[in-house]
Amino acid sequence: MKDYKKYYLLPATPDEVYTALTNPVTLELWTGDPAEMSTEPGSEFSLWEGSIVGKNIEFVPGKKIVQQWYFDGQTDESIVTIKIHPDSHGSSVELRHVNIPDDDYNDIVEGWNDSYFGNLADFFEVG
Protein backbone atom coordinates (compact mmCIF):
# COMPACT_ATOMS: atom_id res chain seq x y z
CA MET A 1 0.00 0.00 0.00
CA LYS A 2 1.17 3.48 -0.84
CA ASP A 3 0.09 7.02 0.01
CA TYR A 4 0.01 10.07 -2.26
CA LYS A 5 -0.07 13.75 -1.32
CA LYS A 6 0.04 16.77 -3.60
CA TYR A 7 -1.06 20.40 -3.77
CA TYR A 8 -2.85 21.81 -6.81
CA LEU A 9 -3.51 25.48 -7.61
CA LEU A 10 -6.83 26.20 -9.29
CA PRO A 11 -8.06 29.54 -10.71
CA ALA A 12 -11.38 29.41 -8.84
CA THR A 13 -12.73 30.22 -5.39
CA PRO A 14 -12.91 27.48 -2.74
CA ASP A 15 -16.72 27.45 -3.09
CA GLU A 16 -16.45 27.00 -6.87
CA VAL A 17 -13.95 24.15 -6.46
CA TYR A 18 -16.12 22.47 -3.84
CA THR A 19 -19.19 22.72 -6.09
CA ALA A 20 -17.24 21.32 -9.05
CA LEU A 21 -16.24 18.29 -6.95
CA THR A 22 -19.61 17.62 -5.32
CA ASN A 23 -22.39 18.69 -7.71
CA PRO A 24 -23.22 15.89 -10.19
CA VAL A 25 -24.16 18.34 -12.96
CA THR A 26 -20.87 20.25 -12.64
CA LEU A 27 -18.93 16.98 -12.34
CA GLU A 28 -20.41 15.85 -15.65
CA LEU A 29 -19.39 19.15 -17.28
CA TRP A 30 -15.69 18.80 -16.53
CA THR A 31 -15.37 14.99 -16.63
CA GLY A 32 -17.43 14.51 -19.78
CA ASP A 33 -19.11 11.44 -18.27
CA PRO A 34 -22.21 10.80 -16.14
CA ALA A 35 -21.56 11.23 -12.41
CA GLU A 36 -23.39 9.99 -9.34
CA MET A 37 -22.62 12.21 -6.35
CA SER A 38 -24.30 13.40 -3.19
CA THR A 39 -23.03 15.39 -0.21
CA GLU A 40 -24.84 13.02 2.14
CA PRO A 41 -22.30 11.17 4.33
CA GLY A 42 -22.62 7.41 3.78
CA SER A 43 -23.89 7.79 0.21
CA GLU A 44 -22.17 6.01 -2.67
CA PHE A 45 -20.61 7.82 -5.62
CA SER A 46 -19.50 6.89 -9.13
CA LEU A 47 -17.36 8.86 -11.59
CA TRP A 48 -16.07 8.22 -15.10
CA GLU A 49 -18.68 5.55 -15.86
CA GLY A 50 -17.81 3.57 -12.74
CA SER A 51 -14.02 3.79 -13.09
CA ILE A 52 -14.01 5.46 -9.67
CA VAL A 53 -16.53 4.28 -7.08
CA GLY A 54 -16.75 4.62 -3.34
CA LYS A 55 -18.49 6.04 -0.31
CA ASN A 56 -18.79 9.66 0.82
CA ILE A 57 -17.63 10.10 4.42
CA GLU A 58 -17.47 13.80 5.30
CA PHE A 59 -18.19 17.20 3.76
CA VAL A 60 -17.39 20.71 4.98
CA PRO A 61 -18.83 23.07 2.33
CA GLY A 62 -16.13 25.04 0.56
CA LYS A 63 -13.36 23.43 2.65
CA LYS A 64 -13.14 19.64 2.77
CA ILE A 65 -14.24 16.37 1.16
CA VAL A 66 -13.46 12.90 2.55
CA GLN A 67 -14.25 9.74 0.58
CA GLN A 68 -13.47 6.05 0.66
CA TRP A 69 -12.46 4.71 -2.75
CA TYR A 70 -13.13 1.05 -3.47
CA PHE A 71 -10.52 -1.28 -4.94
CA ASP A 72 -11.40 -4.92 -5.69
CA GLY A 73 -10.22 -7.28 -2.99
CA GLN A 74 -8.75 -4.56 -0.78
CA THR A 75 -9.24 -4.96 2.97
CA ASP A 76 -7.67 -1.65 4.11
CA GLU A 77 -9.81 1.41 3.43
CA SER A 78 -8.40 3.70 0.74
CA ILE A 79 -9.27 7.20 1.95
CA VAL A 80 -9.19 10.39 -0.13
CA THR A 81 -9.10 13.71 1.72
CA ILE A 82 -9.37 16.94 -0.28
CA LYS A 83 -8.86 20.20 1.61
CA ILE A 84 -9.56 23.47 -0.20
CA HIS A 85 -7.78 26.64 0.92
CA PRO A 86 -8.13 30.22 -0.36
CA ASP A 87 -5.13 31.37 -2.39
CA SER A 88 -4.24 34.68 -4.03
CA HIS A 89 -4.81 33.05 -7.43
CA GLY A 90 -8.02 31.21 -6.45
CA SER A 91 -7.62 28.02 -4.43
CA SER A 92 -4.90 25.74 -3.16
CA VAL A 93 -6.18 22.18 -3.02
CA GLU A 94 -4.46 19.67 -0.76
CA LEU A 95 -4.99 16.07 -1.86
CA ARG A 96 -4.14 13.13 0.36
CA HIS A 97 -4.93 9.58 -0.83
CA VAL A 98 -3.90 6.77 1.55
CA ASN A 99 -3.77 2.99 1.16
CA ILE A 100 -3.51 2.87 -2.62
CA PRO A 101 -2.81 -0.70 -3.78
CA ASP A 102 0.76 -0.98 -5.11
CA ASP A 103 -0.42 -2.32 -8.49
CA ASP A 104 -2.79 0.66 -8.96
CA TYR A 105 -0.50 3.43 -7.65
CA ASN A 106 0.95 4.74 -10.94
CA ASP A 107 -2.45 4.77 -12.65
CA ILE A 108 -4.05 6.55 -9.67
CA VAL A 109 -1.33 9.22 -9.53
CA GLU A 110 -1.59 9.80 -13.28
CA GLY A 111 -5.38 10.00 -12.94
CA TRP A 112 -5.17 12.59 -10.16
CA ASN A 113 -2.75 14.77 -12.12
CA ASP A 114 -4.22 14.47 -15.63
CA SER A 115 -7.85 13.39 -15.57
CA TYR A 116 -8.99 14.75 -12.21
CA PHE A 117 -7.16 17.96 -11.37
CA GLY A 118 -5.84 18.48 -14.91
CA ASN A 119 -9.38 18.47 -16.35
CA LEU A 120 -10.66 20.58 -13.45
CA ALA A 121 -7.98 23.23 -14.04
CA ASP A 122 -8.86 23.29 -17.76
CA PHE A 123 -12.55 23.65 -16.87
CA PHE A 124 -11.92 26.72 -14.72
CA GLU A 125 -9.48 28.31 -17.17
CA VAL A 126 -11.87 27.90 -20.10
CA GLY A 127 -15.00 28.68 -18.06
pLDDT in tens, 97-110: 999 999 999 999 99
Query: Is residue 127 pLDDT above 70, yes or no?
Result: no
Determine how β-strand 78-87 pairs with β-strand 90-100: antiparallel
Asked if 28 and 126 count as a contact pair (C-beta separation under 8 A), the reply is no
Count of alpha carbons within 13 angstroms of residue 53, beta-carbon side: 7
**What is the percent of the chain where pLDDT is above 70?**
98
Tens digit of each residue's pLDDT (9 = 90 or more) over 54-70: 999 999 999 999 999 99
Per cent of the chain over pLDDT 90 is 89
Q: What is the dihedral of CA 87, 23, 52, 28, to 10 degrees?
A: -100
Domain ranges of the chain: 2-126
Give the pLDDT band of residue 17 (cuts 50, 70, 90): very high
Q: Which CATH number fits domain 2-126: 3.30.530.20, 2.60.40.290, 1.10.150.530, 3.40.50.300?
A: 3.30.530.20
For the chain, the average pLDDT equals 94
Predicted local confidence at residue 72, as pLDDT: 80
